[in-house]
Amino acid sequence: MVIRDRSSLGSARQADGGPGNPLTRRRFIAGAAASLAGYPLASKAAAAERKIVSLNWAISETLYALGIKPIAAAETASYDLVVGQPRTPAATVDVGLQGAPNFEYIAQLSPDIILIQTWQESLRAPLERCAPVETIGIHTGEGDVYRHACDAVRKIGALTGRAAESEAFLAGVEARFASLRKNVQARSVAPLYLVQMIDDNNLTVFSRGSLFDAALSKLGLINAWQGEPTLLWGGSVVGIEQLAADPKAGIMLIDSPGLAPEEALTKSPLWATLPAVRSGRFTRIPSFWGFGALPTSVRFAETVASSLESLFG
């Protein structure tokens, strides 16, 4: 998704819960590689829980995947529409926008800790009048976003007294990726362009630094777009014609909440001229939150792996 305003995403619609996107919470948890069961991880007594406020969706999905229920989170209804899984716990209340939370309401909740991402540092001063603030850096514009997402799991585990559970979660994720990679490597797969439509002539192409590119790499696949990213979450806005640069590559179109890709493509004469489209090496997959964390990464990888047959046979 192209984020024009991070603080207002309520109009986005969900498209990532359909067939071909089968990952559930149980898939994430450690155990035997062939059976990642037991999700969510064992919770501690309510009295021992820290009162956490999460002001970022990537942090929220990580908390939920670890079985941690924050007392409050940002934009919960929109999160459930756009991110979708894991769902917001029923008892978690909404404290406003990610970029403009309700400080007064947060103070009334008397949290023990508030979690933000790097891009939200401007909120630190007013938030620290409510409770201690911890930054969880995932999408920083620097380094390996997958490693950042793993580090986020460990940091959250340390902050909540769940270090063992966080390591079990990470082991489960690695086991799942290893299984997917083994299946993918049995195929002959050309490089892939990962794109989301913006309008008739332009799209976002995901590159190094993106959660989606990291998932491709974990699967042993090659991203056809090798340009440097210009967006914080690892991508660039380009003209459709630039997808002709690698005539042997396939194109995977990630649905965009709020935009009907098939309608935009029908209007675009450029799209029909692309080598991948002419050769039938093009497929659509459901929407995923590209500004997300490890749960999104694994669900995305599962969908990519299951979609390769339609692209390359």
228-244 per-position pLDDT tens digit: 888 888 999 999 999 99
* 37 neighbors 31 (Cβ within 8 angstroms): yes
pLDDT at position 143 is 87
pLDDT at 263 over 70: no
Task: Outline which parts of the chain fall under CATH 3.40.50.1980.
Answer: 25-181, 188-312
pLDDT at 16 over 70: no
Q: What is the pLDDT of residues 20-79, one digit of tens each?
A: 333 344 444 433 233 333 334 444 443 358 999 999 999 999 999 999 999 999 999 999
Token pair belonging to 109: 């909740």
Give the side-chain half-sphere CA count within 13 A for 189: 28
Q: Is residue 72 within a helix (H) or strand (E), and if so which, with residue range?
A: strand 72-73
Q: What is the CATH number of domain 25-181?
A: 3.40.50.1980
Q: Is residue 217 within a helix (H) or strand (E), and if so which, with residue range?
A: helix 211-219
Strands ordered across the beta sheet of 202-206: 235-239, 202-206, 192-197, 250-254, 282-285
CATH T-level assignment (fold) for domain 188-312: Rossmann fold (3.40.50)
* 152 neighbors 169 (Cβ within 8 angstroms): no
Secondary structure (DSSP) of 156-209 = HHHHTT-HHHHHHHHHHHHHHHHHHHHHHTTS----EEEEEE-SSSEEEEE-TT
pLDDT at 119 over 50: yes
Q: How much is the pTM?
A: 0.83
Q: How far apart are CA 302 and CA 97, in angstroms?
A: 30
State the virtual CA torsion across 215, 219, 222, 228 in degrees, nearest 10.
20
